[in-house]
Amino acid sequence: MTIDRHRKDDGPLKPVPDGPAPEPTVQRLRVRYAKRGRLRFTSHRDISRAVERAVRRAGIPVAYSAGFNPHPKISYAGAAPTGVASEAEYLEIGVNRPCDPRRVRDDLDASLPPGLDVLDVVEARDGNLADRLEGSMWELRLPGADPGEAERAVKEFLAAGLVEVERLTKKGMRRFDARQAVRWLAVVEEPGIPAGQETVQPCVILRMVVRHETPAVRPDDVLMGLRLVAGFAPPSPPAVTRLAQGPLDATGEPADPFAFDRAGGDR
């Protein structure tokens, strides 16, 4: 028990650990990573454990919080749900020695299991990363669904002013509107299938851009909305992938949330 670093204004002295204080954060690194294939079954907690261990194995000089139970300074923004794949997950690492973002990208990627893949690392400028993640673009693959029915359902959904859906949350069944958060929604063609290669099963692909709100509107909420407005009911559960996250502007697609950091400008 030594100095009163943690003294509250009005409270008693809080005990603090003996020994030196942890080294301060000198740099924050913003990381975009993907959650692919089998690793889409990881939960947010699974990922945070995997990242903490990978950071240790990679020897990245992560900063720690003070106190009796120091935590590595790694924060996560808007993680995709368990079972959902993503090309655009974000986290931020505080380090106590300046690092080259490119080297961190390579080292962390090599250290993470295949399927958790580091795509981009930038040095953070001002501002809060989570605030820049205003919306997401999602892709839903619906094997065995009828393309015509999907088109009709999308049209009716977009024409509606309000589509109330229900979801079981920790606080019980909640009713909320799934329409207003949807900025853009369309049936798209299967991209990149080589000519002549037949798909085994016809697959309807939906893409949507959804604004992050409270309560969060998830892709499966939109899917429920399509069923409610037009009776669209695909025969099997969707394979969902988050394609992008970022600031929403008039164009519809989320912009690059790192653009500001990369430009090196200040706000």
Partner 1 sequence: MSVESLFPRLEPLLPKVQKPIQYVGGELNSTVKDWDEATVRWALMYPDAYEVGLPNQGVQILYEILNELPETLAERTYAVWPDLEALMRSEGVPQFTVDGHRPVRAFDVLGVSFATELGYTNLLTALDLAGIPLDAVDRTDEDPIVLAGGHAAFNPEPIADFLDAAVLGDGEQIVIAISEVLREWKGEGSPGGRDELLLRLASTGGVYVPKFYDVEYHPDGRIKRVVPNRDGVPTRVFKHTVMDLDEWPYPKKPLVPLAETVHERFSVEIFRGCTRGCRFCQAGMITRPVRERSITTVGDMVEAGIRESGFNEVGLLSLSSADHSEIADITRGLADRYEGTQTGLSLPSTRVDAFNIDLANELSRNGRRSGLTFAPEGGSERMRKVINKMVTEEDLIRTVTTAYSNGWRQVKLYFMCGLPTEEDEDVLGIADLAKKVIKAGRDATGSRDIRCTVSIGGFVPKPHTPFQWAAQSDHETVDRRLRALRDALRSDKEYGRAIGYRYHDGKPSIVEGMLSRGDRRVGRVIRAVWEDGGRFDGWSEHFSFERWMAAAERALADVPVDVDWYTTRERDEHEVLPWDHLDAGLDREWLWQDWQDAVNSVEVEDCRWTPCYDCGVCPTMGTEIQIGPTGRKLLPLTVI
> Whole-number minimum distance, CB 115 to partner 1, in Å?
7
For residues 42, 48, 51, 56, the Cα torsion angle rounded to the nearest 10 degrees is -140
| Bond preceding residue 81 cis, omega within 30 of 0 | no
> Whole-number minimum distance, CB 41 to partner 1, in Å?
4
3-state secondary structure 153-164: HHHHHHHCCCCE
Q: Is 113 in the site for partner 1 (CB under 8 A)?
A: yes
Q: Is 44 in the site for partner 1 (CB under 8 A)?
A: no
Q: Looking at 25, 27, 36, 50, which residue binds partner 1 (CB under 8 A)?
A: 50
> Whole-number minimum distance, CB 234 to partner 1, in Å?
13
> Whole-number minimum distance, CB 58 to partner 1, in Å?
8
Question: Residue 145: which of 264, 237, 43 has the closest Cα?
Answer: 237
Q: Enumerate residues 6+ apart whose C-beta is below 8 A from 246.
A: 88, 132, 133, 134, 135, 254, 255, 256, 257
Burial degree of 219 (CB within 10 A; 0-12, 13-18, 19+): buried
By rule CB under 8 A, what count of residues binds partner 1?
33
Residue nearer to partner 1 on the CB measure, 7 or 38 = 38
Q: Is 83 in the site for partner 1 (CB under 8 A)?
A: yes
Q: Is 64 in the site for partner 1 (CB under 8 A)?
A: yes
Q: Is 111 in the site for partner 1 (CB under 8 A)?
A: yes
Q: Is 103 in the site for partner 1 (CB under 8 A)?
A: no
Q: Is 68 in the site for partner 1 (CB under 8 A)?
A: yes
Q: Is 43 in the site for partner 1 (CB under 8 A)?
A: yes
**Which runs of E-coded beta strand occur in the chain?**
27-35, 74-77, 85-95, 116-123, 135-143, 164-169, 172-177, 182-188, 203-211, 239-246
Residue nearer to partner 1 on the CB measure, 64 or 76 = 64
Burial degree of 85 (CB within 10 A; 0-12, 13-18, 19+): buried
Q: Is 217 in the site for partner 1 (CB under 8 A)?
A: no
By CB under 8 A, name the binding residues for partner 1.
17-20, 38-39, 41-43, 45-46, 49-50, 52-57, 59, 64, 68-70, 72, 82-83, 111, 113-115, 236-237
